[in-house]
Chain A
Amino acid sequence: MCGIVGIYYKNKDLNKHLGTMLSSMLVQMSERGPDSAGVAVYRNAVDSSSTKITLHAADDDYDWNQMHSLLAKAFSTDVDIEIRVNHAVVATTAPLPEFRTWLALNCPDLRIMSAGTTIEIYKEKGAPRDFVDRFQLQDIQGSHALGHTRMATESAVTTQHSHPFSTGLDLCLVHNGSLSNHNRLRERLQEEGIEFQTDNDSEVAAGYLMWRLHQGASLEQALTSAISDLDGFYTFAVGTRNGFAVLRDPIACKPAVMAENDDWVAMASEFRAIAQLPGVEQATVWEPAPATVYSWGEA
């Protein structure tokens, strides 16, 4: 159980404020998600010949420099790397499937958090306030972001089960609620070639969307079919390269508040995460209707 937040800029001039707004929203969701936090930020786009990959090291003292030079040598390309605490964002022209193979063989201690052209995903244990400080989230700039604060059911809190889940390029999902048919759905999706790292229900929702997108559906169509294919209680916020979407299940018991003005769209589990945002006084505030897809940008 947890809190989710999302912010999407309609006015690009605000991109420089992404970090401060996201941080303040995340911290407001600490009580309902005290154990770990995660964010997906969309920033620093690479060109279409490259891929940006966020990597996570279990060890805080991981030798990223060595990894960097090994990678550059292996693929004979330039590799950009930006280190942030125990995560690193690598930008490379190496083809993604080969990169994955290379990584699994040479750096088994590293985990891929996200891949795409703009997305970066950071997840870590601990209180949201600490997460924001450690990752210097306040300074990040970008076009849109999703965040999640988690109340873990297992005491050995790991980031394995943390949101945002990303099962496709530049695609991520955060979820507040509890699905009830995810186990069978996971098997069906695995038969379709979607891979999962955890037994988490939210990861199944992310995988489902990826599958539908692979089939050629738009995000809106994928979310619409999710209403009938996913069973349970959920508020989802979804991010794509240029888009942002929100969906609640037909019963809509899990909370969701949205706000929109000329400059931005925001969503959160509790209004207090939105109440502090600059420009909220001019925003229309509403609660998304059940079983209705709300989307912005090229969702």
Chain B
Amino acid sequence: MSKQNPLRPSATFSLDVLAEIHRAADQGIYDIRGFGTKRSLPNFDDLLFLGASMSRYPLEGYREKCGTDVTLGTRFAKKPIELNIPITIAGMSFGALGANAKEALGCAATQMGTSTTTGDGGMTEEERQSSETLVYQVLPSRYGLNPDDVRRADALEIVVGQGAKPGGGGMLLGQKITERVAQMRDLPKGIDQRSACRHPDWTGPDDLEIKIQELREITDWQIPIYIKIGAARVAYDVALSVKAGADVIVLDGMQGGTAATQDVFIEQVGIPTLPALRMAVDALRELGMHRKVQLIVSGGIRTGADIAKALAMGADAVSIGSAAMVALGCNKPVYLKDYQKLGTEPGYCHHCHTGRCPVGITTQDPHLEARLPPELGARLLRNYLTTLTLEVQTLARACGKSHVLNLEPEDMVALTIEAAAMARIPLAGTDWIPGASK
């Protein structure tokens, strides 16, 4: 009697791929989901700090100060933004998120002395009231954009693209376009929002320069203007952003999250945060603008180590989106039945686009939103931000820094050839940086 052959999977037509083709054949449209890239990519885990040694002395914890403050928008704005920590909350829309979640983000940010950012739907009253420092996005769709909110914003962020979909616009499916969302966006209730991927009144950095002038005129040159780009042709984009007149550049690597977009866009477009960051810093240095035009980096920032490494590579600050939501409860093993109703489990959920978020974050359903009271959310996020800050300080002190912005690339080594090449940091134990001439 012959033994039954073991099941043999195909690496090309893996279970994921098979399921996706079956789904496409069934539905006739691309798969839309939330969250960021799920594939494995070179990231900050492939870099390590060197720490203190005989030749480099550490700072004592707590007593010996390790500063975490950063100022953004020093180039042109009369009122730059002073942050206590180099960690900001990234742009996420009311519409994608519920009002409670936005309020929680605002409260936590205020308590920690940092900023939040509006998203593709405009500014809510809850967010303006709860967030002491609020960055107001100007997106291709221009949903909800109005001069009153422009005038009461602490900074403006012109969104050219985001890491999850450089070249794609916002997306919100009908099930999340409630009365309130529809009213804010001037759309009929319950329809699928179609996205504009280009701004309506400018295309290209030469016209963007004039658009920035307009926004400065409207705000009497008081507040900083950020430009947000998804990581693609980073060197050109950073140079052109500087030339167009940005105070701050926000660079979102391909790991950046979204509440809804095509899976193919998330997984197959853009470059990882690690090389994007290095390219951006190179471009700024070449123009003599490093630290003069500040750089905020986002896209898969998860831990204090990620933040410290990003700062060491030359960022002035980081922005967190997905991680902030995880802190609020995203993918937490609670309300298990509701995950299952969506066809998923905690740890695997990326169903923000459905509006049925089991933990009440990316939903407009009051019954689900009730699971995330703003005060609870604020406490969770504040704890997470505190932890992140302590971690960054621990690493910085170990490297002998009295301020986290003094971290440098020379404080690190790389574990893989890809990371060494992408970050331009030597492979541990060697002098070797692939691709860099000696």
Contact = CB atoms under 8 A, between A and B. Distances in A.
**Complex contact flag A–B (Cβ < 8 Å):** yes
Interface of A: 1-3, 31-35, 151-156, 176-178, 233, 253-255, 269
A29 to B, nearest CB: 9
Contact of B207 (A34, A156, A178, A255): A255
Nearest to B233: A153
Given A31-B209, A34-B243, A153 B236 contact: yes
Contacts of B206: 1-3, 32-33, 151, 176, 269
Contact of A155 (B198, B204, B239): B239
Contacts of A153: 235-236, 239-240
B202 to A, nearest CB: 8
23 contacts: A1-B206, A3-B206, A32-B209, A33-B206, A34-B243, A35-B243, A151-B205, A151-B206, A151-B209, A151-B240, A152-B243, A153-B235, A153-B239, A154-B286, A155-B286, A156-B286, A176-B206, A177-B204, A233-B203, A253-B198, A253-B204, A254-B207, A269-B206
A1 B240 contact: yes
A178 B239 contact: no
B191 interface: no
Given A151-B240, A152-B239, A154-B286, 4 more contacts: A156-B286, A253-B198, A253-B204, A269-B206
A254 B209 contact: no
A253 B208 CA distance: 12
A31 B243 CA distance: 10
A255 to B, nearest CB: 7
B209 A233 contact: no
A189 B203 CA distance: 29
B334 interface: no
Given A31-B209, A253-B198, A155 B287 contact: yes
Q: Kindly name the residue among B239, B243, B287 whose own CB sees the greatest number of chain A CB atoms within 10 A.
A: B243
B66 to A, nearest CB: 34
A151 B203 contact: no
Nearest to A178: B204
B210 interface: yes
A152 B236 CA distance: 9
**Closest CB pairs A-B (n = 10):** A32-B206, A253-B203, A1-B206, A155-B286, A153-B236, A1-B205, A153-B239, A1-B204, A155-B287, A151-B243
Contacts of B240: 1, 151, 153
Contacts of B243: 34-35, 151-152
A153 B198 CA distance: 21
B204 A154 contact: no
Contacts of A151: 205-206, 209, 240, 243
A277 B206 CA distance: 23
A33 B207 CA distance: 11
B239 A154 contact: yes
Contacts of B210: 31-32
A139 B145 CA distance: 49
Contacts of A255: 207
B182 to A, nearest CB: 29
Interface in B300-321: none
Contacts of A177: 204
